[in-house]
Chains A and B, each alone.
Chain A
Amino acid sequence: MPDATQPDQNAQTMWDRVAASHEFKDLMATKKIFIIPAFVFFLVYYFLLPILVGYAPQFMSIKVWGNVNLAYLFALSQFAMAWTIAGLYVRAGDDFDEISKDIIDEALTHENVKGDK
């Protein structure tokens, strides 16, 4: 356990200061704007597949191109969906890394961190 949290239950630790900082709140907000909508979207999009296939098999059997039906195309689109979200997330992640780096640099210059290595 890190020393920084131990001495006094009421004393503000480095972690509390960082957690309350403007930059950290900015980081959390930046993350939430991407992660929450992405997570909800993928859950809804994914579960539409078993729900539609399970409860509307007739509809999903409609042929679109030759023998290829909606069910197969919708399943295939899931791969595209997963890869797209992953690609967008990697891009967004660069922003997270940048803000995080600033937070770490600032915390380390302000404190003599007694990290538990």
Chain B
Amino acid sequence: MSAPLIMFLIFIAITLAITYWASKRSSGSSAYFAAGRRIRSWQNGVAVAGDYMSAASFLGIAGIIAFQGYDGFMFSVSWLVAYLTVLLVIAEPLRNAGKYTMADVLAYRLKPRPVRAMASLSTLTVSTFYMIAQMVGAGALVALLLKGSGISYTTAVIGVGILMIVYVVFGGMLATTWVQIIKAILLMAGTFLLSILVMSHFHFSFAAFFDAIGHVTYHDKGQEVVKDFLQPGLRYKPPYGPLELISLGLALIFGTAGLPHILVRFYTVPDAKTARHSVVWAMALIGSFYIMTTFLGFGAATIVGRDFIGTHGGTNMSAPLLAQALAGDIFFAFICAIAFATILAVVAGLTISATTSFAHDFWTNVIYNGVERKPGEEVRVARISAFVVGAVAITIAIVLGPTANVAFLVALAFAVAASANLPVILLSIFWRRFNTTGAVAGLGVGLIASIGLILVSPSLMAIDPPTVTGTARHLIQAKAWFPLENPGILSIPLGFLAAILGTLLSHEPTSTHKFNELLVRSNTGLGAEKATASH
């Protein structure tokens, strides 16, 4: 048995033990969906970091920096700065006024059924798209990391899918939280060790390190090239590069605060103050991690090199190959196990946010008008929908296959979160006149504009050479209509505009009483959901 496989199995054993422990404490809605609202601020902060930093961050960003230098590092910055939106405007009002989902906040002053139905649709869209992207990535990655163990892409996808279902169905939010905490600690430890090893390679001389980054050598179409990897512009080139950067920045800055799997984490703490402190904990971890991508990415570029990574698994293998080059096979196995833990923690977070929204918003509140017909029904529905969501994600990931072009799904998730979810949450908290028509219009237009623009973007619309086959081919074989891969720059203003116009053009009366109620609740915490007693 290979070393990576043994480490994978150790991680699986630990997380299953946690799930078993959590399953004994997960009875009742508040315990199942919000871990009884008893998570401490540091724990939630670490869990937010674990929920947020996906394999796309760990392996993807290290890879982009290793291949395209500075432009990749610019990504890193946005992922942290985005948390200021969460901290300053979203976390506390949400915790104060909501119960389990973002729709709870909207439903105070707007007509609950249409608003919840739309919010649930948008949540499910964001979560499942993001999940499919993670699953395809996970399958390809696990098959690659465990090469030689006879584990295929399909087996890997099914394995990851089953584990995520088990965590969520049996352990609920409590198990998910602890899986995320362990993953975040492993990720930080692994990244820190790797950074130290990179610097020790350069005898702890920053001058030598940055000097090496100035002369990265690799082969491009048979030609040897030497580039300064700190120079901007290796990835984002004119004419559309600068706009693409701004559009991506907008999607991250406004989208992070609208990601359902991040928002649900703030319901797991006792009060708004703890929510605030947990965002700061998360920012400390996330920021440290992304600063360290300097060592991971540029380290891989200078020590391992593009040529070697390109022929040994491609961009995503940059960090693991760097570990192997610096400290041998055991450390390689450890970094692979961290990547695996990373994937599991993120998909578990996505599953629980999707099922919470389906069970709480759609089932209980839209179909049954807010009445739980039997005690425990909401949790039962959530458990069943976790199975369904998991099965659907596994099936789609297997059908798409390991070579499918799925990176756009992540861009799509952020675009929908930024263009549909965020405008509506913001306006409902801050704008007295805002009404149901505006909310439904904002959610609808934000969702459709994001999907529509991505459909006609270069991600899905391009002319492939005949050598590209199967699901790796672009969906529409024509020149893209919209020049950017990230639609944020257009879809976010459209989402806001639709919400505002919908409000102004409809003659729906707005209740000042209800606005006052939400205003007071979200700002003071008066009447906020309390933590439940442990049992």
Show the binding face of A for B, using Cβ within 8 Å: 1-2, 4-5, 9, 13, 15-16, 18-19, 24, 27-28, 31, 35, 38-39, 42-43, 46-47, 49-51, 53-55, 57, 60-61, 66-69, 71-72, 75-76, 78-79, 81-83, 85-87, 89-90, 93, 97, 100, 103-104, 107-108, 113, 115-117
Contact = CB atoms under 8 A, between A and B. Distances in A.
Contact of A46 (B73, B81, B242, B243): B81
A104 B77 contact: no
Contacts of A1: 108, 112, 370
Interface of B: 70, 73-74, 76-78, 80-81, 83-85, 87-89, 108, 112, 207, 210-211, 213-214, 228, 230-233, 236, 241-243, 245-246, 248-249, 253, 273, 276-277, 279-280, 283-284, 287, 290-291, 370, 511-514, 516-517, 519-521, 523-527, 530
14 contacts: A1-B112, A15-B519, A16-B516, A18-B516, A27-B524, A39-B85, A46-B78, A50-B249, A53-B236, A53-B245, A54-B236, A54-B243, A86-B279, A107-B526
Contact of B77 (A4, A35, A75, A97): A75
Q: Which 9 A-B pairs have the closest CB atoms?
A: A54-B242, A50-B245, A15-B517, A67-B214, A19-B516, A100-B524, A67-B210, A15-B516, A78-B77
A66 B207 contact: yes
B210 A68 contact: yes
A9 to B, nearest CB: 7
B287 A90 contact: no
Given A15-B520, A67-B210, A90-B277, A60 B89 contact: no
Contact of B523 (A38, A47, A100): A100
Contacts of A93: 273, 276
A57 B233 contact: yes
A75 to B, nearest CB: 5
Contacts of A83: 283-284, 287
B530 A79 contact: no
A20 B35 CA distance: 35
Contact of A82 (B84, B231, B233, B527): B84
Given A61-B231, A71-B231, A75-B70, 16 more contacts: A1-B370, A15-B513, A16-B516, A18-B520, A19-B516, A19-B520, A31-B523, A39-B85, A46-B81, A54-B246, A55-B242, A66-B207, A69-B231, A86-B87, A86-B279, A100-B525
A35 B524 contact: no
Contacts of B290: 79
A82 B287 contact: yes
Contacts of A81: 81
Given A86-B280, A100-B525, A54 B241 contact: yes
A58 to B, nearest CB: 10
Contacts of A35: 88-89
Nearest to A11: B513
B246 A19 contact: no
Contacts of A69: 230-231
A82 B249 contact: no
Contact of A19 (B108, B242, B276, B519): B519
Given A15-B513, A66-B210, A66-B211, A24 B77 contact: no
B530 A50 contact: no
A74 to B, nearest CB: 9
Contact of B81 (A61, A82, A87): A82
Given A46-B81, A68-B230, A79-B80, A53 B74 contact: yes
Contacts of A85: 84, 88
A46 B253 contact: yes
Contacts of B231: 57, 61, 69, 71
